Structure 1
Amino acid sequence: MSAIKKIVIVGGGTAGWMSAAMLAKLSKNSLAIELVESEEIGTIGVGEATIPAIKKFNHLLELDETDFIRNTQATFKLGIEFTDWGQVGSSYIHGFGKIGQNLGWLRMHQYWLKLRGTGKVSDVFADYSINTAAAYANRFVRARPDMKASPLNDIAYAYHFDAGLYAQYLRRYAENLGVKRTEGRIVKVNQRATDGFIEGVVLESGAVIKGDLFIDCSGMRALLIEQTLGAGFEDWSHWLPCDRAVTVPCSFERSDAAPAIGKSVLLTPYTRSIARPAGWQWRIPLQHRIGNGHVFASRFMSDDEATAILMDNLDGEALTDPRIIRFRTGKRRKVWDKNVVAVGLSSGFMEPLESTSIQLVQSVVMRLIAFFPDAGFAPAQSDSFNALVDEEYRDIRDFLITHYKITQRDDTPMWRQCRDMDIPEPLRERLALWRAAGRFFKKGEELFADESWIQVLIGQGLIPESYDPFVNSAIGR
């Protein structure tokens, strides 16, 4: 069967240029890659918080970390602080990396469950996270060869960065590798009459751009995957009720602050997520500004109310007018359909509660490379690809649902609904197993590690009723 010769990427932004950069890097000039975007069509991009997997992506591109940080106004991220989630007044950090030290075959948290309250261990589980300790101390260090014997060597980190600057950075990278960028608005999509495969896209200028494989990075419009192919959408809003966000960047100081707090204090090495009456507010510190957003459920709060809450809780002066983004949580039933692969928001949307937006771009791009087809597009490849993407989306979905479900809050209608809602059966079984004796087992290639789940479950206040009985024999009583 003949090989794919040309890839057409529809849409730029972070998703488009991450796709272009990685495909150009790994194909080593064996593929023609053309990206079509229009300056007239904006992107969702705001300040982005990421998880540690982004370092693997950048490493594979052979990006210099210092250069990347300089060009994207990035800061280091050790985890996410959740405030008022389990109950009003509560706070914990979901820190990356290890928690304590496992002993024998038993996880560290099992010993903690037995010994907490005895005075022999700290009753604060987060005290055993080096990332959390560093985050609250407002400190960060990159691992060095001379630190191999130090607990600091276990620090895991990601970044906060300006998504628009990251896209520009990768655009320069991709164009240097031969990716062609075409400016223009698509007005028509041509399909083969025999099987519906995409043949090309037509621009306002009349130009026709043909290709063998098309990557849909058109955002929530989903121009190819949905508007053209009708891949379908699986709606998860009955579990994740937020459907809007208001966003605004701010400076590091307010004109009415007396005295000013200071940039060094506000430049925290962690993202903040603060629960609000009908949603939650994010805070992402970059070098040049702070990214802020209020994710909320429109059935419980108006746009004006949500905007007022956000604007009243900024650390500095707003740098732009607030912007409302509408979304629907869920995913395409097929992320790869015929000769189209959806990447980014065209494939689905998961609210950025655990900073998974960039990760979902990264994982789809890398899975496409792993299952890269020839021009015959054997269904077995797209079927396996779709099954893995579906599994990842569902795993992330269940992790996000857990934040809403495991709460003692009953002070507002939204939180009461979340506390009382039915949840997917696999998640119900997982929470029941944890509640019984603190057991948690990661599935296959599941994105979030045991440590992540355990920190969130304990942080939200779901303490198991018992512990693994082998702890008694392990400690001699």
Structure 2
Amino acid sequence: MTEQRVRRVVIAGGGTAGWVAAAALVKQLGPMLDITLVESDEIGTVGVGESTIPTARRFHQLLTIDERIFMRETQASFKLGIAFENWTRDGSRYFHSFGQIGRPSTWMADFHHFWLEAREKGFGGDLGDYCLELQAAAAGRFATGPDATIQHAYHLDATLYARFLRRLSEGAGVRRVEGKIARVEQDPESGFLTALALESGARIEGDLFLDCTGFRALLIEQTLGAGFEDWGHWISTDSAFAIQTRATEDAVPYTRAIAHQAGWRWKIPLQHRVGNGLVFCSEFLSPDAARQQLLDAVEGEVLTEPRLIRYKTGQRRKVWDRNCIALGLSSGFIEPLESTSIHLIQVAITRLIQTFPFSGVGEAQAERFNAQARHEMERIRDFIILHYHLNARDGPFWQRCREMSVPDTLVERLALFGEAAHAYQAADDLFRVDSWVQVLFGQGLAPRGYHQLARMMPPEELRNAFGGIRGDIAAAVQAMPRHGDFLKSYCPAGDA
């Protein structure tokens, strides 16, 4: 443990990661810290993390961000989940919603066990019939307010989001320094970072450094050599093209993820435009072919040139090494299928705030931080692999995904669900039981058995209960305005 008290925090890099960190630190610990962010306008950011999950709402509440103002300034729309198209086979479609399926059941069995019993009796319908968020998304409707319980996230413009957080941060006392980092200085004995030396000749000294330099990982890897665990043998997509198009219709309240022969394509509707991208494995699809495939698929006027992003899926072996903590892409990357990138930044900075090393950087703190980050990343990894592994699509890419060995932790989940429809949410596990259930069923895994508790209910009572849930959801959805109309009244965006 270093005995040097930590007051000076230096954030290397801006973008979403840097400004999320700056905004959170200055809001929660500002009077006790001196926060400096170093970035260069000449260095671009990846800037395609345009889809979030509901944890973003809680993070914004922590920062007392007004939802309407945030949405207006980032041209945001609402998101109720993700529509997965062609993932099991061409023409297939299922929805991973953010909501609760059915109503809370007993401690003995989750709702989907009752649904399996109802379906066996011939009146269960579709599992999605019992989820408000899913039905609202399918109908293109949305409403929220002080008393609303609908679970939602956001589609947002990542560049505008960083700009919005920058204004909040600088207004609260964060110092921004423009410039490129020429070298990173270290203590010759401990290896701890001491300063960032800029090309301008300026030196930015600090006690704690946050690496938000993206895939370059300038501090955590190029300087400290923390190491990288490559997961490419499980998630073999390694490239993406991103492009923006003008909106041709009102935004729908969900993301579309559309499988193709060597990966998938996203469509993220904002108020003023649509974010599009094509994720692919370069072993099975050339960049030129992928670029053309994306251009052929998009709708509306193309606003930007397709931008190629190459990446490795995996995790830094240490995201906290000595007095450096990696956030965002510098800490590792899991492809954007379930929109977890911004969440991982937000949860990491929240953990840092909870265990901030005011009295000096300690080994136990770093080890605990690394363990939590590793466990969460591994479980998100398993959830992503699940989408690829359970498929019945044609083609060599999908055949390899189907036949590959998967992590033991995922093998266990698949066996539990396949045997008895059992799903669970572990400690440090981001995705809830309802998420696992929707994707497991959606990808075509039919369990051989399930909990028999529902058989204790008379069939007519079970039928009436299910009919009541469907009726309540249908009435609630019918009372909602169209998503586009709600945006216009709640948070109308101006010019981008």
TM-score strictly above 0.5: yes
Measured in 1, the distance between the counterparts of 2:259 and 2:121 equals 32
Displacement of 1:103: 3.4
Measured in 2, the distance between the counterparts of 1:293 and 1:100 equals 33
1:433 aligns with one of 413, 416, 441: 416
Q: Is the contact between residue 47 and residue 160 of structure 1 (CA under 8 Å) also seen in structure 2? A: no
| Gaps in structure 1 of 5+ consecutive residues | 146-152, 254-262
Q: What's the TM-score once normalised by structure 2's chain length? A: 0.90
Give the partner amino acid of 2:106: G
Q: Is the contact between residue 39 and residue 176 of structure 2 (CA under 8 Å) also seen in structure 1? A: yes
Give the partner amino acid of 1:44: V
Q: Say yes or no: does 1:245 pair with 2:240.
A: yes
Once the two structures are superposed, what CA deviation does each residue of 1:59-108 show, in whole Å capped at 9, x if it has no partner? Answer: 11111111001100000000000000012111011010210123333211
Counterpart in 1 of 2:230? Answer: 235
Q: Say yes or no: does 1:157 pair with 2:149.
A: no
Counterpart in 1 of 2:31? Answer: 29
Q: Is the contact between residue 316 and residue 331 of structure 2 (CA under 8 Å) also seen in structure 1? A: yes
Displacement of 1:368: 1.1
Counterpart in 2 of 1:149? Answer: none
Change in Cα spacing, 1:126 to 1:72, as seen in structure 2 (3 Å) is same
Measured in 1, the distance between the counterparts of 2:120 and 2:129 equals 14
Displacement of 1:333: 0.2
Change in Cα spacing, 1:50 to 1:430, as seen in structure 2 (3 Å) is same
Once the two structures are superposed, what CA deviation does each residue of 1:256-305 show, in whole Å capped at 9, x if it has no partner? Answer: xxxxxxx22xx110000000100000000111110000000000000011
Give the partner amino acid of 1:353: L
Q: Is the contact between residue 424 and residue 432 of structure 2 (CA under 8 Å) also seen in structure 1? A: no
Counterpart in 1 of 2:258? Answer: 274
Q: Is the contact between residue 116 and residue 124 of structure 2 (CA under 8 Å) also seen in structure 1? A: no
Find the residue that maps to 1:28 and give its secondary structure. helix
Counterpart in 1 of 2:388? Answer: 404
Find the residue that maps to 1:9 and give its secondary structure. strand
Counterpart in 1 of 2:281? Answer: 297
Counterpart in 1 of 2:178? Answer: 183
Counterpart in 2 of 1:112? Answer: 115
Measured in 2, the distance between the counterparts of 1:29 and 1:376 equals 18
Q: Say yes or no: does 1:314 pair with 2:294.
A: no
Counterpart in 2 of 1:356? Answer: 340
1:410-421 equivalences under 5 Å are: 411-421=394-404
Find the residue that maps to 1:319 and give its secondary structure. coil
Q: Say yes or no: does 1:369 pair with 2:353.
A: yes
1:473 aligns with one of 430, 446, 456: 456
Measured in 2, the distance between the counterparts of 1:437 and 1:278 equals 32
Displacement of 1:475: 4.6
Q: Is the contact between residue 99 and residue 108 of structure 1 (CA under 8 Å) also seen in structure 2? A: yes
Change in Cα spacing, 1:216 to 1:475, as seen in structure 2 (3 Å) is farther
Give the partner amino acid of 2:27: K
- 385-394 or 458-467, larger mean C-alpha shift: 458-467
2:7 aligns with one of 5, 20, 33: 5
Once the two structures are superposed, what CA deviation does each residue of 1:323-370 show, in whole Å capped at 9, x if it has no partner? Answer: 100000001000000000000000001111000010010011111112
Find the residue that maps to 2:165 and give its secondary structure. helix
Q: Say yes or no: does 1:132 pair with 2:127.
A: no
Q: Is the contact between residue 47 and residue 286 of structure 1 (CA under 8 Å) also seen in structure 2? A: no
Give the partner amino acid of 1:282: W
Displacement of 1:28: 3.1
Find the residue that maps to 2:426 and give its secondary structure. coil
Measured in 2, the distance between the counterparts of 1:300 and 1:243 equals 11
Measured in 2, the distance between the counterparts of 1:143 and 1:117 equals 38
Displacement of 1:117: 4.9
Find the residue that maps to 1:48 and give its secondary structure. coil
Q: Is the contact between residue 328 and residue 349 of structure 1 (CA under 8 Å) also seen in structure 2? A: yes
Find the residue that maps to 1:116 and give its secondary structure. helix
After TM superposition, what 4+ stretches of structure 1 lie above 4 angstroms from structure 2? Answer: 474-477
Q: Say yes or no: does 1:203 pair with 2:198.
A: yes
Q: Is the contact between residue 5 and residue 207 of structure 2 (CA under 8 Å) also seen in structure 1? A: no
Counterpart in 2 of 1:257? Answer: none
Measured in 1, the distance between the counterparts of 2:457 and 2:174 equals 59
Query: Percent identity, aligned pairs only?
Result: 51
Measured in 2, the distance between the counterparts of 1:321 and 1:47 equals 17
Q: Say yes or no: does 1:343 pair with 2:333.
A: no
What is the aligned-residue RMSD (CA, Å)? Answer: 1.3
Q: Which has the higher relative contact order, 1 or 2, with Cα contacts under 8 A spaced 6 or more apart?
A: 2
Q: Is the contact between residue 36 and residue 184 of structure 1 (CA under 8 Å) also seen in structure 2? A: yes
Aligned residues: 457
Q: Is the contact between residue 86 and residue 407 of structure 1 (CA under 8 Å) also seen in structure 2? A: yes
1:194 aligns with one of 180, 189, 197: 189
Find the residue that maps to 1:29 and give its secondary structure. helix
Counterpart in 1 of 2:485? Answer: none
